[in-house]
Amino acid sequence: MRPITSEVDKSAYSFLIVDDSLFARKNIAKAVEAIGGNVVGEAVNGREAVEKYFELRPDLVLMDISMPEMEGIEALGLIRERDSSAKVVIVSSLGHQEMVKKGISLGAKHFISKPVVLEKAADIIKFVLAQKG
């Protein structure tokens, strides 16, 4: 999955950010803001992510892998099981390659590695949003 820069109707998109780190949530939110997106919700673990996804129905979920209570991969699976059109991008440190592969097999649309490089993250987000289905 090679990120490409593509223009999208930026203001129309809503985002759910899922990470147990406050810093990480604030940081990835900068990439969302950079493309004019709107963070409509935040969650600190996978369980909260599933609840908020179905409450808020965001256009894109930015999901960490390693979190307490329920990890991101399990949350991704639960979201995609009930909504196969859900767009989820994994945001995680290197070292979770096996989990990332599992995430992609469960339907994650892309992967953003930490430390997040804002320009790259914004490109990936735009690429995923521009994808059909």
Partner 1 sequence: MRIEFINPFVEAALSVLDAVLQEPSSKGEMTLERGLAQRESFSVSFGLTGGIEGMVLFDANERTAMDIAGAMNGRRFEEMEPLVLDSMAELMNMIIGSSVSLLNESGFRFELTPPSILWGRDMKLFPINLETLKVPLHSPKGVLTISISMKPRVG
Q: Which residues bind partner 1 (CB under 8 A)?
A: 21-24, 26-27, 66, 68, 92-97, 114-115, 117
Output 78 or 116, the one with its CB closest to partner 1.
116
- Could you tell me the CA-to-CA distances from 117 to 54, 56, 86, 120 in Å, in that order? 29, 27, 24, 5
Give the shortest CB-96-to-partner 1 separation in angstroms: 7
Give the shortest CB-43-to-partner 1 separation in angstroms: 16
Output 84 or 94, the one with its CB closest to partner 1.
94
Output 24 or 43, the one with its CB closest to partner 1.
24
What secondary structure does DSSP assign to 70-108, as a single string?
Answer: S-HHHHHHHHHHH-TT--EEEEEETT-HHHHHHHHHTT-
